[in-house]
Every structure is written in C-alpha cells, then in structure tokens.
Amino acid sequence: MIFNLNLVNFRSYENESFEFNPGVNLIVGPNASGKTNLIEAISLICSLKSFRLKGGDLINHQSDFFYIKAIDQFNFQRELSYHLSDNHLSKKYTLNHLKIKNRSQQRKIPIIIFEPSNLNLVNGSSEKRRDYFDQINQNLFKSYSRILNQYKRIIVQRNKLLKDPRSQIHDFFPWNIRLVETANLIVEKRLELISIINQKINHVYNKIAKNKIYNIEVEYKTNQNIKNYANNLLKSLEDNFLLEKKYSYSLFGPHHDDIVFKFDQREAKSLASRGEIRTLILVLKIIEAQLIEENNQTYKPILLFDDVFSELDGSRRKYLIEYFQDYQIFITTTDADIIIKDFSKNTNIILLNN
C-alpha cells in the first residue's frame, strides 16, 4: 500500500501531492485530466514498470527531469527520478535514501493493472498472450527474466547466422543446443503456470458470471510434441535447416507458441461475447493477484483499474469490490455517477480537473 504520492514534472503534473486510502481510491476526471498519468506514476514508483511508453515521454515536456516520491505502509520513502541530458536518460531509485538496483525484485510492490488494451488479449496477436503470461512468470519465478532474455539473445544471434550466406549446418549445432535448452525451461514454466491457472479458473469465473456457466480451459499451443519437447524441437531444427536458411529466421521454438482460451472446448476467440471476454480477463487478474500474494508475503499487490470498471455490469462490479475489499485499489472513471453507488462511504475520491 502507498499512502502518499508527490509528483514533480511527471507527464502532465508539474507539482502535485495526493493522499490515498488503504482501500478503494476512485480517481474521477474528464478526458485528458491526468487519470492514466496518475495510475502510471503509481505503477512506476511501486514496481519500476510503466505499462505505456518508456523513458523520456514520462518527463513533462517543459522539463528535463521528473521526480516521484511515495510513502508505503511501512513508512518507507520511495523516490524515483529520471534526468534527461544530451539525449541521455539517467534513472535513480532510492528506498529510504539508499540506492536500489533496478533489477532487484526486493521491496518492489507488486502491481496488477487492468486497462483497455488488456481486452485484446483474447482476440489480439499471439505475441500479446505470450507477453502476458511471461510477465506473470517473471513476477513469480526469480530466474524467468534471465532465461527469457537469454532465449531472445540466442534467437537474435541465430538469426544473424542464418542470414550469413557463408553459414553451414554444422555452425548451427551449438546454437541449436542452446536454443533447445532455454526453450525447454521456458515451456516448462509456461505449462506450470497454465496448469495452476486451470486449477483456479472455473471456480473464479463461475462465481462472477452466475448467469452463464462454462467449462473454461487454457491451453498451450506449440507445433512440437509436448511430451518429448526438447528432442522434438531439436529434430525440427535439424530437419528444417534449409527452410530456416531460406527465410533467414528461426522458425521453431516458444517465440512462435500460443495460448488459447477455451469455453466448453471451443475457442473463446470465435465464441465469447465482449462481456464474457471482459470477465475472462478480470478472472485472470484475480488469479494473478492470488498467485502474487502466495508468492510475496511482504506486500499485497496494488490493483489499478484504468477505464475498465464502469464498463462492467452492476453484478460484476459488486463482486469485484467485494473480492478486493482487503486490497488497495485505484479505479479511474470519467463519470462517477454511474459507479458511485457501488462504493461505501469511506471511499477516497480524488477529483482531477483540466
């Protein structure tokens, strides 16, 4: 939880301070009043990650630096600043005035964001789905980021070699071994996550969508035989060398895999209504919160709902508020009238004006 936030030259904010509640914080304002900017600042100071464009864009256009300060539930002071000089961006993050490494997971407050672009998860590209699941895995398993980055580097190097007209099949042997080893770890962790989600998903979904119940399943889709994945992938690489050479691109591995959502064994993509997709995403966020909580004993995740809350129907909104009553939650809306009845009297309302 964070109770205090000070923004200096962060996006549209020149110098502004906010006080927050431990429970629900409703951020209300017209379009372009700074709601998403505020959500983004909370995400950044807690988890050091933004869900929008990075770097220089975060600094107010009239300035060459921004500064964010927050006080958390243990009275820790978190400070983050970006300075831009000569096209070079330098970042500084401190906790009680001590410098913290960007990569260190320690003392980060986990964030769960639900925002409009998440709604493309089911119908959008497979890359979005892989990224989404990989992001959860990065929060859950310490080594996952390292493995994923290693895999990306291997693909880049291997693609370079494929492009090289002088390269021959025997040059690829060490790269294929490395690719298969890392790919195997990635797929193992993705399958593990999907299996955990599958154990929870029906229970949570059917609790929210009482009127129409499905048997929901998340499925991992790969063109390799999953039972003997490593050997199969290695064989695909060896058998298809000429094809890969022709395209100068690595055609096999988890960077081509997909995750499919099934409602009663049919693909949600072609069957689910918009409301059902919204509910499905919401269910994934709830499960994400459960998993993070099981994994991080120090900080409960903070929930950020940007623009999506008012579009849920009344009963789903009610469930959500009940479910997340022990969490700190930030909800943005342009029209408080629609949703104000869902909240209790002690909801903290933050009014933003243009």
Ligand X SMILES: Nc1ncnc2c1ncn2[C@@H]1O[C@H](COP(=O)(O)OP(=O)(O)OP(=O)(O)O)[C@@H](O)[C@H]1O
Q: Counting contacts by CB under 5 A, is residue 6 touching Mg ion?
A: no
Query: Residue 345: helix, strand or coil by DSSP?
Result: coil
Compare residues 36 and 279 and give the one whose CB is closer to ligand X. 36
* Least distance to ligand X, CB of residue 307, Å: 6
For residues 136-165, which are near ligand X according to CB under 6 A? Answer: none
Compare residues 61 and 170 and give the one whose CB is closer to ligand X. 61
The token duo for 105 is: 């997971």
**Does an H or E element contain 134, and which?**
helix 126-140
Strand arrangement of the beta sheet that strand 348-351 belongs to: 111-114, 302-306, 329-333, 24-28, 348-351
Compare residues 72 and 306 and give the one whose CB is closer to Mg ion. 306
Are 22 and 9 contacting, i.e. CB atoms less than 8 angstroms apart? Answer: no
Nearest residue to Mg ion, scored by beta-carbon proximity: 36
Compare residues 59 and 283 and give the one whose CB is closer to ligand X. 59
For residues 36-95, which are near Mg ion according to CB under 5 A? Answer: 36
Compare residues 60 and 138 and give the one whose CB is closer to ligand X. 60
Compare residues 70 and 234 and give the one whose CB is closer to ligand X. 70
Contacting residue, 17, 19, 55, 57, with ligand X by CB under 6 A = 57
Residue type at position 25: N
Burial class (CB in 10 A: 0-12, 13-18, 19+), 156: exposed
Contacting residue, 223, 334, 335, 349, with ligand X by CB under 6 A = 334
Q: Which stretch binds ligand X (CB under 6 A): 27-35, 93-101, 185-193, 290-298?
A: 27-35
Longest pairwise C-alpha distance within the chain:
72
Q: Which stretch binds ligand X (CB under 6 A): 59-67, 78-86, 163-171, 281-289?
A: 59-67
Q: Counting contacts by CB under 6 A, is residue 308 touching ligand X?
A: no
Are 144 and 335 contacting, i.e. CB atoms less than 8 angstroms apart? Answer: no
100/141 Cα distance (integer angstroms): 20
Compare residues 127 and 335 and give the one whose CB is closer to ligand X. 335
186/254 Cα distance (integer angstroms): 7
Q: Counting contacts by CB under 5 A, is residue 118 touching Mg ion?
A: no
Q: Which stretch binds Mg ion (CB under 5 A): 9-17, 27-35, 71-79, 202-210?
A: 27-35
Q: Counting contacts by CB under 6 A, is residue 32 touching ligand X?
A: yes
Q: Which stretch binds Mg ion (CB under 5 A): 7-15, 30-38, 100-108, 270-278?
A: 30-38
* Least distance to ligand X, CB of residue 38, Å: 7
Residue type at position 107: R
* Least distance to ligand X, CB of residue 11, Å: 4
Contacting residue, 5, 6, 34, 176, with ligand X by CB under 6 A = 34
152, 166, 185, 223, 254 from 247: Cα distances, Å:
18, 15, 26, 18, 18
> DSSP string spanning 271-314?
H--HHHHHHHHHHHHHHHHHHHHHH-SS-PPEEEEES-GGGS-H
- State the residue for tokens 């992001």: 135
Contacting residue, 6, 25, 60, 138, with ligand X by CB under 6 A = 60
112/149 Cα distance (integer angstroms): 22
Of ligand X, Mg ion, none, which one does residue 190 interact with (CB within 5 to 8 Å by kind)? none
Query: Residue 171: helix, strand or coil by DSSP?
Result: helix
Under the rule (CB under 5 A), what is the footprint of Mg ion?
35-36
Under the rule (CB under 6 A), what is the footprint of ligand X?
11-12, 29, 31-37, 57, 59-61, 307, 334
